[in-house]
Amino acid sequence: MVAKFSPPNPHPGPLEFDGSNTMKRWNALVVLVSFALSAALFATVRSTAADEPAPAAKKKSPTAKEFVLHAHKRAAVAKSEGDFAAIIYLLDRALRSEALTPKYADYAKQLKGWAHNKTGEVQLEKDRESAALAQFEQAVELNPEHWKSRHNRGVSYAVSGEMAKALKDFTKVIELKPKFANAWFNRAEAQMALGNVAAAITDYEAAIAVSPRDAGFYFARAAAYRQQGKAEQALHDYTQAIELDTSNAAAHVGRGDVYSGAGNYAEAAADFRKALKLDKQSAAAYRGVAWMMSTCTDIRYRDSKRAVSFAERAIELAGDPGFQYYETLAAGHAAAGAFGEAVAVQQKAISLAATDASDAVLGRLRAELAQYERGEAFPTDRVAAPPQAGPRRQ
């Protein structure tokens, strides 16, 4: 969902904004302008009625201030991309004028920034991420203190993989609006993408402090704890996420993965079953079951044939699977003694991981490959790193 921002309330005055004394003076100015225009119109009508018809007076072009006032009036009812484009046009005309006073110019820039932000949100609805980012960038340039434009731009940066830029924007949003929980959450996600796991956990904690009933915040922090090897904290957070959202299949998968890694296979199996009951198309649940059946130390839960079948189903459901899915399929083939297939699939996993995985992860994958090349399968009781949730618009 995109961030929403309402234009200044046009009543009682067309330039009321945040209740400041400056804007009250703007309101008075608008009243005076309206009174003057009305008086002039009345005088013209009276003169025309009393005298003989005269040639029509030459129509004067609108002043810069009138462009601003008209743009403000349109902003109060603007909904479409065309409405926002018209507002931007009017304000561009006003801002090009040297006659525009500083106060009107400042307001025009803020209103134009708002219109660019709204245009960006419309572009997002049409899945035009690049076009939206261009609008958000203009919005922030015009009004750097507008937190919603900053947040939208930060999310767009994150979606495009520019995490360092996203991190700066989310930090500014937190400064401007510290009670906006998603700014903390999104900065945590950016920190995770940059490998700053401890900093991410701190930001997840801040998000939870602001919004303690959001299951997604606990789910994301659990993934961070898993990267730190803190199974107990991860289990706590997954359980908290499940309690807050009983339909959360992903939290059951995450908790099942942790149980599996700790050797609690009965609990893991129960969570995987629950996840698939909630979401029959859960690629992550199929992957979790396949990994456990391929690598667990308890013979009662090992089943290489079904592991391969489940891993292949997981890849099919994932659509664009990450390296973890192929790592799981390779483990299944190895458990079944099909080491040629295991080697080929593991090489694909390494190829996919090469672009963004850490050196530690790549080292692990290569060690597994070496075992398969030696014809060795192994119980590891280890799960691949969970995926990130991704940034939120609002």
Per-residue pLDDT of the chain (394 residues; tens, 9 = 90+): 444 434 444 433 333 334 344 444 444 444 444 444 444 434 443 444 445 555 555 667 899 999 999 999 999 999 999 999 999 999 999 999 999 999 999 999 999 999 999 999 999 999 999 999 999 999 999 999 999 999 999 999 999 999 999 999 999 999 999 999 999 999 999 999 999 999 999 999 999 999 999 999 999 999 999 999 999 999 999 999 999 999 999 999 999 999 999 999 999 999 999 999 999 999 999 999 999 999 998 889 999 999 999 999 999 999 899 999 999 999 999 999 999 999 999 999 999 999 888 898 999 999 999 999 999 986 554 444 455 566 766 6
Q: Nearest-CA neighbor of 104 among 37, 203, 184, 22?
A: 22
DSSP state at residue 301: G
Q: Residue 220: CB partners within 8 Å, gap ≥ 6?
A: 185, 188, 189, 192, 204, 388, 389
Structure tokens at 166: 């996203």
The answer to whether 200 touches 170, Cβ cutoff 8 Å, is no
Task: Kindly report whether the global pTM for this prediction surpasses the value 0.85.
Answer: no
In this prediction, residue 384 carries a pLDDT of 45
In this prediction, residue 55 carries a pLDDT of 57
C-alpha to C-alpha distance for 145 and 147, rounded to whole angstroms: 6
Q: Is the dihedral of CA 293, 296, 297, 300 positive or negative?
A: negative
In this prediction, residue 61 carries a pLDDT of 83
DSSP state at residue 162: -
Q: Nearest-CA neighbor of 295 among 278, 311, 271?
A: 311
In this prediction, residue 355 carries a pLDDT of 87
